[in-house]
């Protein structure tokens, strides 16, 4: 084989090697650093120190504390979801009636509603209308008027009156019952009751008030005392 043929045979290889060589030619230390083929000892030390600072023992300890803190908070949140304590707002005392407490809670939602004769809604209600509306929430049907309600259920002595019972009055000089309310609290001789008054609408009053003490007629129980 002639030398000319050998030259042309190896020419592509020589060109490739030449190009690769040019691609890797470094003319200065600055260019070497720029191309990433040389790192100064100082730079190497800085990177090592930076890496060490990124994850020192204290940092790891802080991370662990944060993890423990988050875990503790998570566990605390989980525990707080399970509240084994009784809800005082809705759980009656052993001597109280659960249904009575729920009746009172719902009746209290009507406080501030204006008085309206024959009304049974939040747009206006009279005394027997408020009682009727409250008991209807629990599917308990009562007669519509206070006079008829006074003939319903069990008549009580004053010492037997409890929360949820109905109290009746003969107001405005009437000779028969014409007003009704529901007992919300009993403090000895005093009875607090929620009702709809003609002047102020739905509100809580007391039999210690001279007007209601004078016009009090009777009290009835219309729900099961052991419910």
Exactly one of 22, 114, 127, 158 is catalytic; name it: 127
Domain assignment of residue 182, yes or no: yes
Judge contact between 181 and 132, C-beta under 8 A: no
Exactly one of 22, 114, 158, 195 is catalytic; name it: 195
The answer to whether residue 127 is catalytic is: yes
The answer to whether residue 179 is catalytic is: yes
Same structural domain for residues 166 and 201? yes
Give how many domains the chain has, as a whole number: 2
Residues of the chain below pLDDT 50:
7, 11-28, 37-38, 44-46, 48-49, 51-84, 92
User: Which burial class, exposed, middle or buried, applies to 217 when counting CB atoms under 10 A from its CB (0-12, 13-18, 19+)?
Assistant: middle
Instruction: Please tell me the pTM assigned to this model.
Output: 0.59
* Residue whose pair of structure tokens reads 């000089």 in the numeric block: 173
- Would you state the structure tokens that stand for residue 26, as one six-digit string? 């470094």
- Would you state the structure tokens that stand for residue 172, as one six-digit string? 């405005």
Same structural domain for residues 178 and 216? yes
Same structural domain for residues 168 and 73? no
**Mean pLDDT taken over the chain:** 76
Comparing CA positions, the residue from 203, 211, 194 lying closest to residue 131 is 194
Helices (H), 156-219: 210-215
Same structural domain for residues 77 and 126? no
The answer to whether residue 158 is catalytic is: no
**Residue range 172-227, pLDDT digits in tens:** 999 999 999 999 999 999 999 999 999 999 999 999 999 999 999 999 999 976 55
Exactly one of 22, 114, 158, 179 is catalytic; name it: 179
Domain assignment of residue 160, yes or no: yes
Distance CA 23, CA 17 (A): 10
User: Which burial class, exposed, middle or buried, applies to 161 when counting CB atoms under 10 A from its CB (0-12, 13-18, 19+)?
Assistant: buried
Comparing CA positions, the residue from 98, 194, 89, 96 lying closest to residue 138 is 98
Q: Which residues span the domain enclosing 131?
A: 98-221
């Amino acid at each position: 084989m002639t030398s000319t043929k050998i030259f042309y045979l190896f020419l592509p290889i020589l060109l490739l090697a030449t190009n690769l060589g040019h691609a890797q030619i470094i003319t200065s230390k600055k260019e070497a650093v720029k191309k990433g083929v040389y790192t100064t000892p100082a730079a190497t030390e800085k990177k090592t120190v930076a890496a060490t600072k990124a994850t020192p023992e204290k940092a790891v300890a802080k991370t662990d504390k944060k993890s423990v803190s988050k875990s503790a908070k998570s566990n605390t949140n989980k525990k707080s979801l399970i509240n084994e304590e009784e809800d005082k707002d809705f759980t009656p005392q052993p001597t109280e009636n659960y249904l009575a407490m729920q009746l009172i809670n719902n009746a209290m939602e009507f406080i501030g509603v204006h008085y309206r004769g024959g009304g049974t809604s939040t747009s206006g209600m009279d005394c027997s209308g408020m009682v009727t509306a409250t008991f209807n929430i629990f599917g308990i049907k009562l007669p519509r008027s206070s006079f008829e309600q006074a003939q319903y259920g069990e008549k009580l002595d004053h010492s037997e009156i409890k929360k949820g019972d109905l109290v009746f009055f003969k107001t405005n000089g009437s000779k028969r019952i014409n007003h009704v309310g529901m007992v919300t609290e009993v403090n000895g001789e005093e009875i607090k009751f929620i009702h709809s008054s003609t002047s102020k609408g739905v509100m809580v009053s007391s039999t210690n008030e001279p007007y209601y003490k004078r016009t009090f007629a009777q009290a009835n129980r219309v729900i099961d005392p052991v419910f």
